[in-house]
Structure 1
Amino acid sequence: MAVYQVLVVDDSAFMRKIVTDLIEADPEFKVAATASTGKEAIQKAVDVKPDVITMDVEMPEMNGLDALKSIMQQSSVPVIMLSGINEQGMKETIMALEAGAFDFIRKPSISHDQDIAQVGKALVERMRAAMNEIKRKADREASLQKRKEIQEDVLRQSQRVQRETPAQVHREPAQKRIDPVQPVTRPTSEQSERFQSQSLKRNAPLGDQKKERSDKKAEAPKSPDRLPDVREAKTRKPVKPVPTPKEIRNSEPLRSAVDQVAAASSRPISKAVAGTEGAFNKIVAIGCSTGGPRALKTLLEELPADLPAPVIIVQHMPPNFTRSLAQRLNTFSPLHVVEAEDGMVLKKGSAYIAPGGYHIIVSNTADGKFILKLTEEHPVNGHRPSVDTMFESLLPFTSLQRHLVLLTGMGSDGARMMKKLYEAGVTSTFAENEETCVVYGMPRSAVELQCVRHLLPLQEIAPKLVQAVK
């Protein structure tokens, strides 16, 4: 079993001890060094070359955010942020995720042993996910390199064959075939007599030759007065009678076309949702987890303010952090981004982020408006909020054009209900591809269920989504 080396960074010696004990409770990880400041962390990241780093967000001299940015410039080691629940710590945590941190956990409460155990489990889970992603990406790069080498080898062989072929196909000019000499045979007496008779006829006087031809002509049978014209027989086509108006009305092609028009007119027409917030008949639903804040920033920056649909987002995140995430994303996106509240009326051109600790559900009112409901029902797939719960709430609303998106994240949350909506005829489904995912878990699960219409790198999702919605 591989033992991964960890660098623990925290300005509190007591917290460094707690985090070290939580990490080393798993035999897969070992704390190789600790640091108490951001500057010390930068230097030890170079000296120790750890496999993973845990970084406190708030520290004196240099905070965790600035240290993270410096470390990211030097290497691609995954960094997991440890954040307090104060407002400043949460804001800097969101910024750290945008800057390249792999993930974050909140700091454990020292007074609750159960809380410390839960945080320790979450920390090890994220570190293991980081190691798995590094291995996956290394395997993928090795596979791509192998494929490239094979292609280059095939190309070299092809070029070598092309160079050698002209010399191989050059041959000596073909010589004329000489048949063996046939033996000379003498004609028989009967052949000689026939030859002499024919020769005498050819040399006979002209009058005798004409007489002989006229005798043969007289003996020939008489031909009919007019032979049929072969060309005329081949090209002549039977003339079809002109159909009557009654026959036209009863014709199969016309009846088929009429049936198609009637069927189309009988289908239910998608009506726009009316209300004081403006009409819309389209909705976008997005799910993400590990790596999600950075992915959401990239996506929402490219969605226009006049997007004719509301956007609902589930990001796996603890309570309180989702409010900081919404405030942060609102500064970048042309959309109006807010943390969702119970009973909010959906508006096109707005984005709603499910609050940590609550499931988000789309519902409707008697007057035709669509609203959001928040529930504290049991976690689904280990998460609350859950992407599957949000997607499932969209199943009844067939009048809406539903566009589903799964971005980077651990696990498989969202894939099962994306499949169900896909089979029900949802308008479009998108997933972030392996190349740009921080963790290719949730999108991969949807791909394996064969319910993704557009598998794209992160930067290409927004333009395609806007095109699909508009």
Structure 2
Amino acid sequence: MDKIRVLVVDDSAFIRKIIKDILSVDKQIQVVDVAKNGKEAIEKLMLNEVDVVTLDVEMPIMNGILTLEKIMKEKPTPVVMLSSLTKSGADLTIQALNLGAVDFITKPSNIFKINDEEIKSLIINKIKTASKVKISRRHYTKREIVKIKKENTNKKSINIGFGQVESIIAIGTSTGGPRALQEVLPNISKNVKAPIVIVQHMPPGFTKSLAERLNNISEVLVKEAEDGEIVKNGVAYIAPGDKHIKFKNEGNKIKIVLDDGQKVSGHKPSVDAMFYSLCEIDLRKIIAVVMTGMGSDGTKGLNKLKQVKQNVISIAEDESTCVVFGMPKSIINLGLADKVFPVNLIGKEINKLMGV
């Protein structure tokens, strides 16, 4: 079996060595070269056969974003970003994911913690997942990104919160999710008479940046979910990193409960945990959407949801648009998907099902 060939790009010689050492432990991975800035990375990418690039977000000479754009234009290759936990680092990471990066690795605030076994295993697994992604068939250009005239929050607030919550739209996604959400949410009408609840596998600090970016291009209001808030029609709530999003009936209203418990199906937030919680909520209709992502999070929860509720319509993202066809494949294979659509048609289908 051919080894996964990796190019490590970081302006810190120390980080380059750490990442190289971590990856070199795995017999399936070979670090073919390293680069200290974006300009050097492009040159080395052209000279080497590379399967995956690890790319620092913030670098001198040519930063990670410009480098990523150049890679996608000149030699499309799966890219995993290395990001700091700062607000600017999170914002740039979300931008990178929208420009075609497959995934990202968070640098711990104490860089020596990067040698923890759990973090090392995570880095290796992300590289292996990225190596299976075919970037060429999803040629990323800025033109693909849905652009909607930015509305300020005051304008949006006129349209939200109308009527009793009788239906809910629940979306679960992982690797490739930020890009997929950017194609789905802007296509959902501001008049949709349902809240939208979203689980995107992400660490703390990044879901807020994701919500802000999606809010800027969507008709519905998009925000990071807060514990105890009452859900409203026309608002999308993204589960914060490292918290499960659950729900509780409170009179004729539905309250968000953020749960800091154990991982469910290997994740926190977990799509399964969200679906399990919806089993207990009184609703006329539930639209459950499972999009791109590794593994099978969402399958067990959707299975239970369909067993206890008669009013669940499930949508899986089609393989043709998935960055990783794992989570949707799992629900399709078990016969749990009522409909299968490419990502660009999912928002329109939601509108149709909701009668808007």
Query: Which residue in the other structure is 1:281 paired with?
Result: 166
Find the counterpart in structure 2 of residue 218 from structure 1: none
TM-score by length of 2: 0.89
Any conservation in 2 of the 1:289–1:407 contact (CA below 8 Å)?
Answer: yes
Match of 1:78?
Answer: 78
Listed one character per residue, the Cα deviations across residues 374-430 of structure 1 (whole Å, up to 9, x for unaligned) are 011100111000000001111123433111000100110001111222233233100
Greater strand content: 2
Map of 1:117 onto structure 2? 117
Question: CA contact under 8 A between 1:310 and 1:351: conserved in structure 2?
Answer: yes
Residue 116 (structure 1) shift? 4.0
- The Cα shift of 1:134 comes to 4.3
RMSD, aligned α-carbons: 1.6
8 Å CA contact 1:108, 1:119 repeated in 2: no
Structure 2 partner of 1:469: 354
Query: How far apart are the structure 1 equivalents of 2:134 and 2:234?
Result: 37
Which runs of 5 or more structure 2 residues have no equivalent in the other structure? Answer: 138-160
Q: Does 1:358 align with 2:243?
A: yes
The one-letter code matched in structure 1 to 2:290 is L
Question: Match for 1:90: what amino acid?
Answer: A
Q: Which residue of 1 aligns with 2:299?
A: 415
Query: SS of the counterpart of 2:163?
Result: coil
Specify which of 205, 209, 214 is matched with residue 320 of structure 1: 205
Deviations 1:278-322 (A, max 9, x none): 313111000000000000000011011111100000000000111
What SS does structure 1 have at the residue aligned with 2:321? coil
2:277 aligns with 393
Alignment match, 1:158 = none
Q: Give matches, 1:144-163, under 5 Å.
A: none
Match of 1:18 in 2: 18
Question: Which letter does structure 1 place at the counterpart of 2:268?
Answer: R
3-state SS, counterpart of residue 305 of structure 1: coil
Distance in 2, Cα, partners of 1:425 & 1:77: 44
Shift of 1:349: 0.4
User: What secondary structure does 2:266 align onto?
Assistant: coil
1:277 CA displacement: 5.6
Going from structure 1 to structure 2, the CA distance change for 1:63 and 1:368 (only over 3 Å counts) comes to same
1:383 maps onto 2:297 in alignment: no
Aligned positions of 1:263-278 closer than 5 A:
278=163
CA offsets 1:252-275 (integer angstroms, 9 cap, x no match): xxxxxxxxxxxxxxxxxxxxxxxx
**Which letter maps to 2:260?**
E
Q: 1:104 aligns to what?
A: 104
Provide the rounded CA distance (Å) in 2 between the counterparts of 1:134 and 1:347: 38
8 Å contact from structure 2 (residues 85, 108) kept in 1:
no
Q: Within 1, Cα distance between the matches of 2:75 and 2:353?
A: 38
Bigger helix share: 1
Counterpart of 2:61, as a letter, is E
Structure 1 residue 431 corresponds to structure 2 residue 316: yes
Q: Is the 8 A contact 1:109 1:116 kept in 2?
A: no
Are the structure 2 counterparts of residues 124 and 353 from structure 1 closer, same or farther at C-alpha, using a change threshold of 3 Å? Answer: same
> Higher RCO, 1 or 2 (CA under 8 Å, sep at least 6)?
2
Match of 2:147 in 1: none
Matching residue's letter, 1:379: K
Q: Per-residue deviation at 1:131?
A: 2.3
Pairing 1:297-308 to 2, within 5 Å after superposition = 297-308=182-193
Q: For 1:370, give the aligned amino acid.
A: I
Q: Which amino acid letter does the alignment assign opposite residue 443 of structure 1?
A: P
Letter of the structure 2 residue corresponding to residue 41 of structure 1: A
The residue that corresponds to 2:215 in the other structure is 330
- Where does residue 260 of structure 1 map in the other structure? none
- 2:6 matches 1:6: yes
Equivalent-residue separation in structure 2 for 1:83 and 1:363 (angstroms) = 35
SS of 2:319's partner is: coil
Could you tell me whether the CA contact under 8 Å between 2:163 and 2:193 is conserved in 1? Answer: no
The code of the aligned residue for 1:407 comes to M
Normalised by the length of structure 1, the TM-score is 0.68
Larger Cα Rg: Structure 1 or Structure 2?
1
Match of 2:327 in 1: 442
Alignment gaps of 5+ in structure 1? 138-275
